[in-house]
Chain A
Amino acid sequence: MMSLSWKQRLKTAMLLMFVGISLCYLLGPPLWMIKSSISSDLELRKVPPNLFPPDPTFGHFRVILQLPGYDENVLRENIHFQFYRRATLNSLIISGSTMLIATLLGSIFAYWISRYVRARVRKWMLLGLLLSRMLPLISVLIPIYVMLLLTGMLDTLVGLIVVYSGLLLPFAIWILEGFYRHFPRDLEEAATIDGASPFTVYLRIVLPLSWNGLFATGAFVFISTWSDFIVGFIMTSTERAYPISVVIARNMSVWREPDWGILNAAGLFAALIPVAIAFALRGLVMRGRFAGAVKG
């Protein structure tokens, strides 16, 4: 066993090559985006482009975040980016609130149907929930638009939070029901015999033990809300409620060449939070526990 046989070496080399190709495919475009976000405007227009920018700059980030010393002319040319900071805050509020509402309500509902609804009925309820959300989002946006219009909640943060909560609750219930179905019941039974009411059992015993499921669901709801474009796009019209993705999209006009440096910086910044969450939770995701409910 001095060395591996040539056949095994060849196999390792082949595998390594395939892994390399896969990594290039998955990471290539985002890495190019990172490179572009720190390149000067001159550098971005270079043919052929450099692989690494010779003089990296954070000027684009300074503009979108309006940090001291930013170039005001650039902001004036990319008029919608003056709302970028506000939109980041909006998105944090919207996604955070939706996460809390959908996860908590979803957890209670999922626990309840997993314990107090007969298996047959539960099956149909879950199927109905899944079906209602599998249909194209565009089909339900017309009525939702009308509803918000009539209640005066168009272009408000509250309106968006309520809509996203309603749209994501079925997914939260779906994920958490799978979680509670496999939850050990001995503790609950013991507490019930000791005279605790059903809700007390849920609150005192089940909830503190379901952080895994709650984290996974919360992360999923947060990422979905943060990443959404079309709901925010149709339901907002001013910076009062613009989510981050709408501000970016409004600067991607088809009528003129976009400012690629600014756009790449803005896109990169908008992707930071969801990507960080996904990395932190990749173990939970990859275990396939909620593979059946990961939404696009």
Chain B
Amino acid sequence: MTGHSSVQGDVRSEGRRAGRRFRKWHPGLSPPFLVFNSLSLLLIALFSIGPLFYVGYLSLVDLKAGEVVGHFVGLENYSFVLEDRSTRTAFENTFYFSTLSVMLATLIGVAIAVLIDSEAPLSKLLIAAVVLPWAVPEVVNALMWKWVFDFNWGALNALLKALGLVKEYVPWFSDGTKAMHALIFAYSWKLVPFVVIILYAALKTVPQDVLESARIDGAGAFALFRHITLPLIMPALAVAILFCVIFSMRAFDLVYLLTHGGPGESTTVLSYFTYAKTFEFGDFGAGSAVSVLLAVATLAVTIVYWWLLRRAEREQ
């Protein structure tokens, strides 16, 4: 009886000792951490990382509706997609959309960040207002702009006519160029907060005494910004721009809700193109191939982003 329990005790204390040795080797590996962290890793693997591999796989197979495993077709989906004239258009549209909306958002964002930083009158109000575009849900953003751009009763047409800028109301979504520019304007509104938030933090680090002594030496406001402030906030600005590029490359909701990629294919950006191919035409192979191409393009941008972030951190 006693022997039995003492053996058990030995085993138990042996186990405890092993656990202690293990923890000494790696003190963080205590059971609660192991349990919770495996749960986290499982969720991340299932929904953030795993799907990327599965999409890669899907792009290499031919999948019939209702199947999960297809038969291997090599790069056929890619050649099919790349020969498609529409893919080229989607790439061009994405490039145009991203470039212009990021440029617009950067210009406006820098201006607002500088205004807030200069502590102009009412700039406290600006801080409160600038988080608004970020917080407004995507769908609400879309319906808000659809209403602003509405042909008959939209605020924009009424405003332009009242100011005498147009004689007749403008049908914003009837031709490709106007529709694209309307989308760009609406999307840049959503991007502005990111630029302002990142730049506002950077502007705070610009040393005031340097600015002051340059001002005493007679430098104008623009020269101060161009030669002192701008070089100092350049790393942060690069980060902000690349962030916006990554976001704008995945813009979907606004395109889907405002134009459905039209008229024609004039506003079909890659993410909408992927959606249409996959979920509207049911072509999983082609849809996956396009999304891999889009992912690779975004990845290239992200790597540059990471590299700049590291460099900016090292310089600080």
Contact = CB atoms under 8 A, between A and B. Distances in A.
Contacts of B256: 230
Interface residues of A, number: 100
A135 B36 contact: no
A142 interface: yes
A252 B142 contact: yes
B43 A49 contact: no
B22 interface: no
A142 B253 contact: no
A45 B247 CA distance: 35
A275 to B, nearest CB: 5
B55 A142 contact: yes
B44 A45 contact: no
Interface stretch (B5-13, B78-86, B271-279): B271-279
Contact of A166 (B44, B68, B162, B271): B44
B122 A169 contact: no
A19 B291 contact: no
Contact of A230 (B31, B190, B253): B253
A37 B30 CA distance: 55
A68 interface: no
A286 B74 CA distance: 49
Q: Which of A19, A274, A275, A292 has the most CB of B within 10 A?
A: A19
Interface in A218-244: 223, 226-230, 234, 244
Interface in B242-264: 246-247, 249-250, 252-253, 256-257, 260
B158 interface: yes
Nearest to B49: A132
A258 B139 CA distance: 14
A139 B292 contact: yes
A22 B44 contact: no
Interface of A is mostly: helix
Interface in B10-68: 26-33, 36-37, 39-40, 43-44, 46-52, 54-55, 58, 68
B165 interface: no
Given A136-B249, A248-B143, A163 B47 contact: yes
B133 interface: yes
A140 B155 CA distance: 37
A237 B139 CA distance: 17
B153 interface: yes
A142 B147 CA distance: 31
Contacts of B201: 286-288, 291
Given A33-B144, A134-B298, A143-B51, A282 B128 contact: yes
B249 A270 contact: no
A25 interface: yes
B35 to A, nearest CB: 9
B147 A116 contact: no
Nearest to A164: B47
Contacts of A15: 115, 118, 120-121
A272 B148 CA distance: 20
Contacts of A108: 33, 36-37, 40
Contact of B127 (A135, A137, A286): A286
A131 B28 contact: no
A96 interface: no
B291 A142 contact: yes
Contact of A136 (B27, B129, B204, B271): B271
A28 B121 CA distance: 19
Contacts of B194: 291, 294, 296
A28 B129 CA distance: 11
B147 A48 contact: no
A29 B33 contact: no
Interface in B106-135: 108, 111-112, 115, 118, 120-123, 125-135
A82 to B, nearest CB: 18
A36 B145 CA distance: 13
B271 to A, nearest CB: 5
A167 B48 contact: yes
Nearest to A110: B40
Given A291-B201, A296-B190, A166 B153 contact: no
B283 to A, nearest CB: 11
A121 interface: no
26 contacts: A16-B120, A19-B121, A22-B126, A23-B122, A30-B132, A30-B136, A32-B148, A36-B147, A45-B153, A108-B37, A112-B37, A127-B306, A129-B48, A139-B291, A140-B52, A142-B55, A143-B51, A144-B51, A230-B252, A252-B143, A252-B257, A267-B139, A278-B131, A288-B200, A288-B204, A296-B250
Interface pairs A-B: 8 shortest CB-CB: A166-B47, A116-B28, A288-B201, A278-B135, A139-B291, A140-B51, A143-B51, A15-B120
Interface of A: 12, 15-16, 18-20, 22-23, 25-30, 32-33, 36, 44-49, 105-106, 108-109, 112, 115-117, 127-144, 146-147, 150, 162-163, 165-167, 169-170, 173, 197-199, 202, 223, 226-230, 234, 244-246, 248-249, 252, 254, 258, 260, 263-264, 267-268, 270-271, 274-275, 277-279, 282, 285-288, 291-292, 294, 296
Given A173-B40, A271-B137, 15 more contacts: A15-B121, A23-B122, A23-B126, A112-B28, A131-B302, A136-B291, A137-B252, A139-B55, A144-B51, A197-B30, A198-B33, A228-B137, A263-B147, A278-B131, A296-B247
